[in-house]
């Protein structure tokens, strides 16, 4: 088994473990009933989705044929790895700060634009397009669909 497959399996296992822990913790908040869901229902649903994604990734990786070493590049450039990690961390911090002082739209857009740049294969144009599309979906789902009390634009 190549190191790339091992890393993918570890990533899938990580998703499963985080999903199971989050699911267990969601029961502390109460699930409620189907007609009146409690505060633990949404985290439980997200946890189940996370576990299913992890299992799906694991199974897909097991079924995937072993790629030739040159066809599947290994991450050997430490600077690139650190760059990606720092950009993802920066994206989370930006969401927290801009979400508090700027609102859902700028927080989501900036977070996605920064996080997408963690992959060197993404161009600036692709990153901005991804950020715009996902921001529009986030507004549709969270603001209009679920009525989340998170202002679209909050200045100050």
Mean pLDDT, rounded, for 80-97: 87
Q: Are residues 89 and 134 in the same domain?
A: yes
**DSSP assigned state of 38:** -
CA angle 31–99–105, rounded 5-degree value: 100
Q: Are residues 34 and 61 in the same domain?
A: yes
Name the pTM for this structure: 0.56
Q: Are residues 67 and 132 in the same domain?
A: no
Q: Are residues 45 and 91 in the same domain?
A: no
Whether residue 41 contacts residue 32, with contact meaning beta carbons closer than 8 Å, is answered with yes
Q: Are residues 81 and 156 in the same domain?
A: yes
Q: Are residues 20 and 59 in the same domain?
A: yes
Q: Are residues 86 and 49 in the same domain?
A: no
pLDDT greater than 60 at residue 113: yes
Q: Are residues 20 and 66 in the same domain?
A: yes
Q: Are residues 45 and 98 in the same domain?
A: no
Return the higher-pLDDT residue of 61 and 93: 93
Whether residue 31 contacts residue 40, with contact meaning beta carbons closer than 8 Å, is answered with yes
Whether residue 74 contacts residue 3, with contact meaning beta carbons closer than 8 Å, is answered with yes
Q: Are residues 68 and 85 in the same domain?
A: no
Last residue of one domain, picked from the residues 54, 74, 94: 74
- Count of structural domains, the chain: 2
Q: Are residues 150 and 119 in the same domain?
A: yes
pLDDT tens profile 28-56: 888 888 778 788 888 888 889 889 888 88
Which of helix, strand or coil describes residue 91? helix
Q: Are residues 90 and 20 in the same domain?
A: no
Domain that holds residue 126: 77-156
- Report d(CA 143, CA 147) in Å as an integer: 5
């Amino acid at each position: 088994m190549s190191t790339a497959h091992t890393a993918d399996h570890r990533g899938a296992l990580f998703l499963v473990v985080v999903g199971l822990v989050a699911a267990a913790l969601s029961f502390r908040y109460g699930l409620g009933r189907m007609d009146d869901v409690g505060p633990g229902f949404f985290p439980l649903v997200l946890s189940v989705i996370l576990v299913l994604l992890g299992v799906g990734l694991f199974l897909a990786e097991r079924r995937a044929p072993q790629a030739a070493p040159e066809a599947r590049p290994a991450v050997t450039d430490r600077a690139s790895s650190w760059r990606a990690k720092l950009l993802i961390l920066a994206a989370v911090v930006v969401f927290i700060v801009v979400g508090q002082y700027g609102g859902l739209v700028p927080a989501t857009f900036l977070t996605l634009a920064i996080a997408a740049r963690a992959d060197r294969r993404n161009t600036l144009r692709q990153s901005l397009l991804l950020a715009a599309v996902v921001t529009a979906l986030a507004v549709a789902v969270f603001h209009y669909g679920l009525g989340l009390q998170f202002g679209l634009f909050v200045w100050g």
